[in-house]
Structure 1
Amino acid sequence: MLGRGAAVGGALTLGPLLGGEAVAAPNGGTPARAAGKGPKGGYEAIGVRPLINGRGTFTVLSGSLMLPEVREAIDRAARQYVQLDELADAIGKRLAQLTKAGFGMVSSGASAALGHASAACVAGGNPDLHVQLPDLTGFQKTEAIIPKHSRNVYEAAISATGLKIVEVETRAQLKAALRPQTALVYIFAMPRVDESELDTRTIAQIAHAAGVPVLVDAAAEILTIPNVHLQRGADLVAYSGGKCLRGPQSAGILLGREDLVRAAWVHSAPHHGWARGFKVGKEEAMGMLAAVEMWVQRDHKAEYATWTSWLKDIARRVSVVRGVTTKIVQPEGLSNRTPTLTVLWNAQNLGVTGQTIVDTLWDGEPRIAINAARSSDPAQSGVSITPYMLEPGNAKTIAVELVKLLRDPPPAPEPPKPPTVDASGTWALEIKYTAGTSTAHELKLSQDGAKITGTHKGEFVSRPATGSVSGSEVTVRSYYGEEHGDALSFTFTGTLKGNRISGDLNMGEYLGASWTATRKS
């Protein structure tokens, strides 16, 4: 999933808001500037490298680029004062007109929209209840139901309101879980929802019979008008503003039943209490409205045609390398609405893997972000490229750099060495995070040749661990999956000397750390 997905929308007019060579933009948009070219300014002036984004609307890659009309709306809004409750009311009515929903609200991202919506289902816009959140002592509504297929990292926005999560998997379980204390049912929009016996229509019918509203998280989806989720029976639906809509990255929208959306605004900043930190300024609010205004005007078919033409150009250019095959796949469904180009080759014949290409492009100049590709053939390796976030000229740059690396591959990683150490045993860990230290972790490992299996005990849970040994270098990986409503990955790498291992820890989005392990007697 592309950072909650990349969805349909134009990437036709804007470049990074940095110094660089101007590139003509179609449709009269602001000229883009090529990443990595021209005099340094903006991000580069403080030592941050801009990039060409062929990966998608990942939040960590700063989402999408705002439309020119959005930037203009933000600039106009920044020049005058308004009363924010009056602004929210006017924007809510206009969003309702544009989207054909009951009412609308701008939030500080889709996750914040989920939190405000949950608070609305708990406290109903009652200020006396609002100021007590997230302490639900004495509240009637204290639980949120989430089908197993919808458990994910973003549900933290719901439990942050104080709600207890109740997981269900069947119709019977859903009916049994619906009680007077049920505040809402949450659905994470994705293809497997519609394939489940607990699809949106079924959930809505059962929940509504018990008087319980349904909230859909459609952050990565295209904005359908009329709204497909509301038509299927949902009461509320949340979208990201900084993905397909190309509004402010720090904004989102909540659409649906007017009483619940208005209550969600009560449970939002500028009002004090639980949600004061989720502030939306007048600038983001008007920028988000401008993005929705543009959504109904944009020529989405023309945007798709442009994206596909860029992928065809890359495919044509890389096909000059013998042994390379390409395939363009058009999207299905509402999420991740972007065509994708897969470039495959025999890794042994060309002497390079897709992951090595991805890593080299990320470290190169210009900096390019693409994905490694998967293949059913283990001999095949490759990369995949999504054009949604590309700018004019980027496709040629990516193709040129790919051809260079395929014809003159970077050095391959050293092959594993026979193990010279035994990592078996129980290990007490000290982890030094970017901020903070923990001594609560423990590894219990067994080694068979170069293969490691075992368990990794963390602060609260244990999880399976796997790994390998190369010479005296030890690698151990564990993962805490989204079925629990959160996700943590650990990759420990270190050198074993005697009864001590020390090295680096990669935790993905939680940055790097160092670790030391001591073998227990």
Structure 2
Amino acid sequence: MKRRDLIKYLSVAPLVGGVVGAGIPFLSANAAVSTAAKRDLIKELGLRTFINAAGTYTTHTASLMHEDVLEAINGSSTHFIMIGDIQDKVGEKIAALCHAESAMVTAGCWSALVLGTAGVLTGTDLKKIAQLPNLDGFQKTQMIVQKAHNIAYVHAPTNTGIEVVEVETAEDLEKAINEKTAMMWFLNLASNEGKIKHEEWIAIAKKHKIPTMIDIAADIPPVQNLWKFNDLGFDLVCVSGGKAIRGPQSAGILMGKADLIKAARLNAPPFGNNIGRGMKVNKEEILGMYAALDHYMKLDHDKEWKDWEARVAVIETAVKSVAGVTTTVTVPPIANHNPLLNIAWDTTKVKMTSDDLALELRNGSPSIEIMKFSPNSINITVFMLKPGEDKIVAKRVQEELSKAS
């Protein structure tokens, strides 16, 4: 029963009460369901909620979605729409926003990395698509990666069976390129550690006509990163959707050259039992991801940053009132780029460890999650706090440090 119909029904209920009781169980049952209190599964299952002063970690369920994202999800959940049509339309919008030729919504950044690599390896050859991760008979089977970039995240593209070839210098890179080279992969998080920077990496790749992919999973903000790497000339760009953009945690974005996105989509659902079969993205997530991106790009990011700094100042001022406590504010240069507050203490004056403090905050009311940094210091981020929660965090951390001093 629609809400307006329910209101109309309830307005005349006293007049028809006898009829309902006597012989129209359908109306009676629906009225009971419609007027029942909403089910609170969090309370029903005994789940702990908390104030997130840690950050957009997967373990902490990343970020909270904006209201318009939830509206997009809920509004699409009551309709059937062909999944390919949604990817087409949403992909066009995302590509336009991010200066790319094409785009698709994926099951997180990891999925974007796998599907993008698969697309590079197979193109639109359906036989090759069905064969992955078995690369028997493939001419191009190698991916070049800088040594400093060859860390855990490389396991995403190697899901396709692609072989990693490690280099350190531009000279190494030139020597490593051969007829088996399918792709060159760049991990933005490690860009300051690698000897070859973005522009040189792209220039060498274009010289040899080799596709490039960059992983910028948690490297937003700044908002400009959403189009910066497309403008630089990377062929594929992979983004997490559920962190600072605040889309569905299980969503991500793959964007770049149209032919590669077309190939990546053929490696993804609903196109058969292929390597991406388990990376299904439902209509609600695709539309929710677009709504989140659209919302994020329209934000006043300067104002948002000042708000973060003000929240940090509230917490910093409170905890520094405790003898033996010192604070430092830094900004991570690449991933999770937002003000980071480190709170440290002299253990001769404050008799507790960071484990002790984390446990007290977790077990308190309300429960608060922070990140332990060292035996006598913690890190706090504020960009996932709801309005007013900075004051709660400030008060609780100050209380626990004071209690131990």
Shared fold (TM-score, shorter chain, > 0.5): yes
**Which residue in 2 is equivalent to 1:160?**
159
In structure 2, what is the equivalent of residue 326 of structure 1?
Answer: 327
Q: Which residue of 1 aligns with 2:23?
A: none
Partner of 1:509: none
Deviation at 1:364, TM superposition (A): 3.4
Aligned to 1:23: none
Partner of residue 402 from structure 2, selected from 404, 407, 411: 407
Indicate the SS of the match to 2:166. strand
Contact 2:72 2:288 in 1 (8 A): yes
> How far apart, CA to CA, are the structure 2 residues paired with 1:278 and 1:258?
20
User: How far, CA to CA, are the matches of 1:154 and 1:234 in structure 2?
Assistant: 18
Aligned equivalent of 1:295 = 296
* 1:142, distance to aligned residue in structure 2 (A): 1.2
Corresponding residue SS for 1:349: coil
Q: Specify which structure has the bigger relative contact order, considering alpha-carbon pairs within 8 angstroms and separated by 6 or more residues.
A: 2
Q: Match of 1:384? A: 379
Residue in 2 that maps onto 1:271: 271
The unaligned stretches of length 5 or more in structure 2 are: 1-37
Question: For the residues of structure 2 that align with 1:218 and 1:226, how far apart are their CA atoms?
Answer: 9
Q: Partner residue of 1:119? A: 118
Residue of 192, 199, 202 corresponding to 1:201: 199
Residue equivalent to 1:216:
214
Q: Is the 8 A contact 2:148 2:193 kept in 1?
A: no
Unaligned runs of 5+ in 1: 1-38, 375-379, 411-521
Give the secondary structure class of the aligned counterpart of 2:348: helix
Kindly report which structure 2 residues correspond to 1:125-274, keeping only aligned pairs within 5 A, or say none: 125-190=124-189, 192-194=190-192, 196-222=194-220, 223-224=223-224, 227-272=227-272, 273-274=274-275
Matched, 1:57 2:56: yes
Question: Where does residue 30 of structure 2 map in the other structure?
Answer: none
Tell me, in whole angstroms, the C-alpha distance in 2 between the residues paired with 1:407 and 1:295: 39
* Alpha-carbon separation, structure 2, partners of 1:100 and 1:110: 19
The alpha carbon displacement at 1:225 in A equals: 6.2
The AA in structure 1 aligned to 2:292 is A
Q: Matched residues in 1 for 2:50 and 2:126: separation?
A: 45
Query: Residue 145 of structure 1 contacts residue 186 of structure 1 at CA under 8 Å; is this kept in 2?
Result: yes
Secondary structure of the residue aligned to 2:376 is: strand
Rounded to whole Å, the distance in 2 between the matches of 1:142 and 1:52 is 46
Asked if structure 1 preserves the Cα contact closer than 8 Å seen for 2:140 and 2:182, the reply is yes
CA distance in 2, matches of 1:389, 1:354: 21
> What's the RMSD between the two structures over aligned residues?
2.0
Distance 1:320 1:194 in 2: 37
Report SS of the residue matched to 2:131.
coil
User: Counterpart amino acid of 1:305?
Assistant: K
* Equivalent position of 1:336 in the other structure: 336
Residue 328 of structure 1, CA deviation = 2.8
Contact 1:194–1:200 (CA<8 Å) still a contact in 2? no
Asked if the contact 2:99–2:230 (Cα under 8 Å) also holds between the matched residues in 1, the reply is: no
Could you tell me how far 1:226 is from its partner in structure 2?
A: 6.7
Q: How many pairs align?
A: 365
Q: Which has the higher strand share?
A: 1
Q: Distance in 1 between matches of 2:43 and 2:329?
A: 34
> What CA distance in whole angstroms lies between the structure 1 residues aligned with 2:82 and 2:399?
56
Give the aligned residue type for 2:117. S
Moved over 4 A (4+): none
Distance in 1, matches of 2:119 and 2:302, equals 37
One-letter identity of the residue aligned with 2:313: K
Amino acid at match of 1:372: K
| Equivalent residue number for residue 398 of structure 1 | 393
TM-score relative to the length of structure 2: 0.85
Post-superposition offset of 1:332 = 5.6
Specify the code of the residue in structure 1 equivalent to 2:216.
A
Contact 2:103/2:261 (8 A) holds in 1 = yes
Deviations 1:218-276 (A, max 9, x none): 00011426722223331111000000110000100011111111211111111121111
What amino acid is the match of 1:59? T
Where 1:246 maps in the other structure, the secondary structure is coil
Partner residue, 1:87:
86
Question: How far 1:304 sits from its partner (Å)?
Answer: 1.4
The whole-number CA distance in structure 2 between the counterparts of 1:195 and 1:229 is 18
Partner residue in 2 for 1:43: 42
Map of 1:444 onto structure 2: none
Encode CA deviations 1:457-484: one digit per residue, 9 max, x unaligned.
Answer: xxxxxxxxxxxxxxxxxxxxxxxxxxxx
Counterparts in 2 of 1:174 and 1:264: CA distance versus 1, 3 Å: same
**Separation in structure 2 between the aligned mates of residue 44 and residue 181 of structure 1, nearest angstrom:** 56
Contact 2:109 2:239 in 1 (8 A): yes
SS at match of 2:59: helix
Provide the residue aligned with 1:504 in structure 2: none
Name the structure where helix makes up a greater proportion of residues. 2
1:40 to partner: Cα distance: 10
Preserved contact between residue 323 and residue 346 of structure 1 (Cα < 8 Å)? yes
Give the drift of 1:402: 1.3
Distance 1:286 1:221 in 2: 22
Partner of 1:486: none
Contact 1:355-1:382 within 8 A present in 2 as well: no
Distance 2:308 2:60 in 1: 19
Q: CA deviation at 1:292?
A: 1.2
Contact 2:99 2:231 in 1 (8 A): no
Partner of 2:70: 71
Opposite residue 180 of structure 2, the aligned amino acid is Q
CA–CA separation in structure 2 for the residues paired with 1:215 and 1:246:
23
Q: Secondary structure at the match of 2:246?
A: coil
**What's the offset of the Cα at 1:319?**
2.7
SS state at 1:306 partner: helix
Q: CA deviation at 1:334?
A: 4.1
One-letter amino acid of the structure 2 residue matched with residue 274 of structure 1: I
- SS of the residue corresponding to residue 382 of structure 2 reads coil
Report the secondary structure of 1:289's partner residue: helix
CA distance in 2, matches of 1:247, 1:164: 32
TM-score normalised by length of structure 1: 0.67
In the TM superposition, what whole-angstrom CA distance separates every residue of 1:167-216 from its partner, at most 9, and x where no partner exists?
111222211221222111111112x4246331121111112222211100
Q: Secondary structure at the match of 2:327?
A: strand
Q: Is the 8 Å Cα contact of residues 344 and 382 (structure 1) preserved in structure 2?
A: yes
The residue type equivalent to 2:277 in the other structure is R
1:197–1:284: structure 2 CA closer, same or farther, 3 Å change rule? same
Quote the offset at 1:323 in angstroms. 2.7
